[in-house]
Amino acid sequence: MEPVLVTERLVLRAFTPDDVDGLLALDGDPEVMRFLERHIKTRAEVEADVLSTLLESQENDTGLWRLAADTRADGEFIGWFGLRPVRPDAGAMVHWQSGLDETRTAELGYRLRRSAWGRGYATEGTRALVVRAFAELRLAELVATTMAVNVRSRRVMEKAGLRYARTVHVTWDDPLDGTEQGEVEYRLRRADWTKIGTTVQRETAT
């Protein structure tokens, strides 16, 4: 399968049915899911829900879907990076509807296995997606959100060029520890990215 993106250390590609074990290492790890949800998925849930949704989303022609991430050195699956088309409104980003509208906005996301943490992979893959979003897909704005207490994820967003926009407070049925500090939203417009785009492209070039 031809990769969609290649960086210095990563190959980003479409998902295949063979990625079940890799996805289970993500959604089945409580540390990986710490700032996302309490429920840790089983293999059956990954096969029936997670993987099937990923494969179906790849059938659209917008280029806005999740990409599996392998290391170039040994082909190890370490997680995913993705762009999800969203329709912005005044509410919290976590409740925005999916779909590309006239604002041409997409949510930037990523999830890595614990074994890949602390190696700069998150920043490398995220920067590559920023370049793809603005230079190839011609999006107008990227947005991202995480819990305010998720300091590591916030650093990745900042290193990719996104900037803090606001903090919102969302009511959850089963709130995670730290929810009381809110959800932070980060944004980057293409017009602002062009000022830093050359640097980002150079850093993500192979």
The owner of tokens 């979003």 is 133
CA angle 194, 196, 202 (to 5 degrees): 110
Q: What is the CATH code of the structural domain delimited by 5-204?
A: 3.40.630.30
pLDDT at 201: 47
Cβ-contact 10, 72 below 8 angstroms? yes
pLDDT tens string, the chain, 206 residues long: the values are 689 999 999 999 999 999 999 999 999 999 999 999 999 999 999 999 999 999 999 988 888 999 999 999 999 999 999 999 999 999 999 999 999 999 999 999 999 999 999 999 999 999 999 999 999 999 999 999 999 999 999 999 999 999 999 999 999 988 999 999 999 999 999 999 987 654 444 444 43
User: Could you tell me the residue ranges of all domains in the chain?
Assistant: 5-204
